[in-house]
Copies of this chain bind each other. A is one copy, B any other.
Amino acid sequence: MRKRLIEIISIGNELLTGHTLNTNAHWIAKQTTSVGGIVKRVTVVRDEIDEIVSSMRGSLRREVDWIIISGGLGPTYDDKTLQGLARALGQKLVLNKEAVAMLKRKYSKTLNPSLTAARMKMATLPTRAKPLDNPVGHAPAVMVKHGSCIIFSLPGVPEEMMSIFAKHVMPVLKHKMGKLVRIETSFETTNVTESFIAPYLDRVVAHNPKVYIKSHPRGYRKGISTLHVNLACESSSRKSANRYLRKAVREMKQSILDAGGKIKQI
């Protein structure tokens, strides 16, 4: 059975004060979707243990296949993700030898190579967690299994998160998800409003159960309503996905023309 259901948890006050735009969750959603994952939910919480634990327990309760966490792995007082992870999983926090070796290697090249308490904090992991090497920063990431769920905890610094994702997360995702192709296409229409084409859209949706269709109003230009229509299809082969998608696009365009709209390819 394919393991496709994913939840993303983003941790950091800066994401909830409007200071930082959550591009990490967006990037992770795009990457996982491209290999057949279905992101069910993104939860963003503050650097508070209770909030971190509650968000993780929520994801575990919903029995998703993957939880991908980012943020809160650093050495400072407000980096609490590993404490939260240990508590949510009912595991202890212990100094992980493999993680200590990773940190030792990294800091040996710096001016202050000593493994201070703050640095050792980054190697103090939940008992059954496996550290993942961070190719561009210091804090190791973490992988830990809980029942049938695989949890990755990645740093919040985007370059570090992306680099660990590419090296350690993507290969596991691809392996477990199997082959699944997702293709999508979009076009713009003018002259019809979303509410006017809604019943036509409903009919096309009913005829094309394998295709996901969504319209996004783009407002009015010179008094003329513009709509963006997005169609996406997933299938085990590119050929069948293309076939499903082409049929739905044809029917959707015809419906819009029937309703008096104009099609503008983008």
Residues on A close to B: CB < 8 A? Answer: 13-19, 21-23, 25-31, 33-34, 39-46, 51, 55, 58, 74-78, 110, 112, 116-119, 121-122, 136-138, 157, 159, 193-196, 198-199, 201-202, 205, 212, 214-217, 219, 230, 232
Q: A40-B51, A77-B202, A193-B112 in contact; A26/B33 too (CB < 8 A)? A: no
Q: A156: nearest residue on chain B (CB-CB)? A: B216
| B217 adjacent to A157 (CB under 8 Å) | yes
A242 to chain B, nearest CB (A): 19
Q: A214: nearest residue on chain B (CB-CB)? A: B78
Query: Of B40, B43, B116, B201, which is within 8 A of A42 by CB?
Result: B43
Query: Of B18, B110, B119, B217, which is within 8 A of A137 by CB?
Result: B217
Q: A41-B43, A77-B201 are in contact. List 12 more A-B contacts (CB 8 A).
A: A13-B214, A14-B214, A15-B42, A17-B30, A21-B21, A22-B25, A22-B42, A41-B51, A76-B198, A112-B193, A116-B196, A137-B217
CB-CB under 8 A from A43, the residues of chain B are 41-44
Q: Report how far A75 CA is from B201 CA in the complex, Å.
A: 11
| A30 adjacent to B14 (CB under 8 Å) | no
| A76 adjacent to B219 (CB under 8 Å) | no
CB-CB under 8 A from A18, the residues of chain B are 26-31, 33-34
Q: A259: nearest residue on chain B (CB-CB)? A: B112
Q: Report how far A119 CA is from B196 CA in the complex, Å.
A: 8
